[in-house]
Copies of this chain bind each other. A is one copy, B any other.
Amino acid sequence: MTELTSARSPRVQAARRLAKRAFRIRDRRFLAEGPQAVREALLEPGTVVELFHTREAAARDPRLLDSAVATGVPTTLVSAEVMKALAQTVTPQGVVAVCHLLDRPLAEAVGPGAQLVAVLAHGRDPGNAGTVIRTADAAGADAVVLTSDSVDAYNPKCVRASAGSLFHLPIVIGVPVADAISALRGGGLTVVAADGHGDLDLDEAAGSGLLAGPTAWVFGNEAWGMPAATRALADHVVRVPIHGRAESLNLATAAAVCLYASARVQRANSAGGTFDNGRGESATERRG
């Protein structure tokens, strides 16, 4: 196999510039880097446009290349130097996929029957945004919405932090927060804002039945929290209790605690099986 050694080759140049948002929007493409992200991308038919890899990466993970070839994705062997130019990480893992953008319209992403949606309303840190996507996926959310006031979902750091989850569940981007909230409420979801100044404690909210039905969680900004205008749009404002002396929780951490509280309550509700009564006892009941 011939190795592409010039970082100035037009195809490499075209891929490289996808590190910049303006080019991602223009070309409707983005980069997924590293074996985990690329593996997940390849599982979604029609997502990967082409694949660049080093000889070492192919030797280390031949199945990854095989699955690209099997699904008709063009692969290009590149030198370590070209990989360094393509990759956004300090120590490139030797494989980069050019992918089609994945986002969908809100109405399509959040269909009837959606139970759990995460809305990042003002998140500006791409690492946090990617971790929220990964956590929402793990908690079984139906979709993630990054509003127009949030960081770009295709930012390389966000793609990396999502650890492949960007390819797992529907992502909505660029919707103004007010529009997203009214659409979600219109779809039958209770809109709950997570905010340190919330009047309801998360455990109280979980205990009161407030989280039992379809829920859209709205998260704010990592540094300055949530503007009053956004809080005012929600049906409820809930705070994760701070039992110790910490001023607040990290955004992605708070999102994890909230999304998992919803998953727990919703699943206990629908299963009607053994549930946690908060006292270390358990009981079995059938749903009424």
Contacts and interface: CB of A to CB of B under 8 A. Distances in A.
A211 B204 CA distance: 19
Contacts of A246: 134-135, 137-138, 163-165, 168
Interface residues of A, number: 60
B277 A207 contact: yes
Contacts of A161: 250
A280 B250 CA distance: 27
A197 interface: no
A141 interface: yes
B269 A279 contact: yes
Interface stretch (A62-70, A83-91, A98-106, A236-244): A236-244
B275 A269 contact: no
A244 B140 CA distance: 4
A209 interface: yes
B275 A280 contact: no
Task: Count identical subunits in the complex.
Answer: 2
A140 B249 CA distance: 12
Interface in A167-213: 168-169, 203-204, 206-212
A14 interface: no
B265 A276 contact: yes
A281 B67 CA distance: 49
A1 interface: no
Interface in A256-288: 256-257, 260, 263-265, 267-269, 272, 274-283, 285
Contacts of A242: 138
A108 interface: no
Nearest to A138: B246
Contacts of A204: 274
A268 B279 contact: yes
Contacts of A138: 240, 242-244, 246, 248-249
A138 B248 CA distance: 7
A49 interface: no
A11 interface: no
A161 B268 CA distance: 34
A267 B203 CA distance: 10
A5 interface: no
Contact of A257 (B211, B243, B257): B257
A252 interface: yes
Interface of A: 36, 131, 134-141, 161, 163-165, 168-169, 203-204, 206-212, 240-250, 252-254, 256-257, 260, 263-265, 267-269, 272, 274-283, 285
16 contacts: A135-B253, A136-B244, A138-B240, A139-B243, A164-B247, A165-B245, A168-B245, A209-B281, A241-B263, A253-B253, A253-B256, A256-B257, A269-B280, A275-B278, A275-B279, A279-B285
